[in-house]
A and B are shown apart, each in its own frame.
Chain A
């Protein structure tokens, strides 16, 4: 084995998803809906713009000391699907722009394969 080329990744870093990355990842809330996680408030505001949408979360260890803190965006439940990450939370439709022309097939199937 020792002289054979390695076939696994040397290291794996995540910057968007995953608790370790904390630069804008997903988490499950107690209600089961997913929320975006950010390491700083600025990162959160870049996606959501409204300070009221960016909630600070402080995790503490058993002694009460701060283990880590981060920010989460609003709940990504099915009721919030009109929102888009990485862009404004409000759309500016003009007279020539129409929406909703993609997605109808996905409402009844997963696209996974």
Chain B
């Protein structure tokens, strides 16, 4: 794994926008092709195998949590325990998730966390870096490849999902009012349309609840029977309409059991079930069990908020508003550094299959929403 400094394509902005990637410069520089990561195929095979292995370990952990009722450790509200168990018992299918790895090619990928419910940076990983590969790399190196079959796997998985509801059923897509979220949601709607799904957008505030019929409706009062939400489960269950999700006839993607995997509490449970696993870091629900440097993570934190990194006598703490529900303690591992930048890898699972990676760079070892997306290729 090496970082190359490169001259950006002269038309990179236009090409990003031609792919619907309008937030390429959000918060300054976000898409950054002034550098690129070059992997060997052996390294890519390692990443793919690690993602497949951890996906299997995660499904096993979900089964363990449900069977043993360990919801309280994850601060899941009691009213939701049965709903999650039902969702798992039915094996409601999942569309996607993204493992964040520390990896530099010299040892096994180590899982930092699993973004199992509302992973983003999908459009750039799937479409934008693929276009960069075709335009900037392959003309001079026809053998170059990229670990990225996200697009075709997303379409295939939407097709598989669509056969589980009637052909005339619309799927409503919603997200928070954020440019980045909307860009990702529109891309997901695009691939769903290509799979034959009647994919409709609805502003989240417009979702209606029809109390007479115990159902959710859109702005036209059309029933929402399948909802794709790029909006965290833990927010939905605590909001005014959350309790109605327990009784109304509605299918939600990602399914409710994903609440268990998007929670940082999955990290100590994975470690407990798979001690000394080569792709895991020691993690616990209690402080004081890690000899050496460690990281404290809120159960429900997003975008690195309220993460504390304790390294020697130094503490690096990211601000935020999370942590009230509880925290976990995870052993520290070095985040690979290239020049002045720290790089983390996001390894995607689509359905049940590894489907690609994206690299994020930041001046801080804590990956945040401002971390830059850097394309990759392998030879």
Contacts and interface: CB of A to CB of B under 8 A. Distances in A.
Contacts of B163: none
Contacts of A103: 176-177, 203-205, 207, 231, 239
A106 B176 contact: yes
B67 to A, nearest CB: 27
B210 A97 contact: yes
Contact of A106 (B204, B209, B356): B204
Nearest to B221: A92
Given A7-B148, A9-B149, A99 B208 contact: yes
A34 interface: yes
Contacts of B127: 12, 14, 18
A37 B148 CA distance: 27
B361 interface: no
Interface stretch (B2-10, B56-64, B212-220, B309-317): B212-220
Contacts of A75: none
Interface in A78-113: 78, 81-88, 90-94, 96-113
A28 B18 CA distance: 11
Contacts of B199: 86
Nearest to B212: A96
A45 interface: no
Given A15-B190, A16-B193, A96-B213, A107 B208 contact: no
A40 interface: no
Contacts of B297: none
Given A14-B20, A14-B190, A99-B206, A87 B218 contact: yes
A26 interface: yes
B251 interface: no
Contacts of B1: none
A110 B19 contact: no
A109 B189 contact: no
A13 B217 CA distance: 31
B232 interface: yes
A8 interface: yes
Contacts of B115: 113
Interface stretch (B87-95, B179-187, B286-294): B179-187
A102 B207 CA distance: 7
B117 A113 contact: yes
B166 interface: no
Contacts of A109: 176, 302, 321
B118 interface: yes
The size class of the interface chain A forms with chain B is 35 or more
Nearest to B14: A19
B72 interface: no
Interface stretch (B77-85, B139-147, B265-273, B332-340): B139-147
A8 B150 CA distance: 8
A110 B240 contact: no
Contact of A101 (B146, B170, B240): B240
Interface string B222-258: 1000000011100110111110100000000000000
B66 interface: no
B379 interface: yes
A33 to B, nearest CB: 10
A18 to B, nearest CB: 4
Given A9-B148, A112-B303, A101 B119 contact: no
B211 A27 contact: no
A110 B180 contact: yes
A36 B308 CA distance: 41
Contact of A104 (B48, B206, B222, B240): B240
B226 to A, nearest CB: 13
A88 B241 CA distance: 22
Contacts of B279: none
B50 interface: no
A84 B44 contact: no
A102 to B, nearest CB: 5
A16 B190 contact: yes
15 contacts: A7-B146, A8-B130, A12-B130, A12-B151, A16-B193, A19-B17, A21-B20, A81-B203, A87-B219, A97-B209, A102-B241, A103-B205, A104-B239, A106-B231, A111-B181
Given A18-B18, A78-B177, 12 more contacts: A1-B41, A9-B130, A13-B194, A16-B190, A84-B202, A92-B221, A97-B211, A100-B240, A103-B176, A106-B175, A111-B175, A113-B232
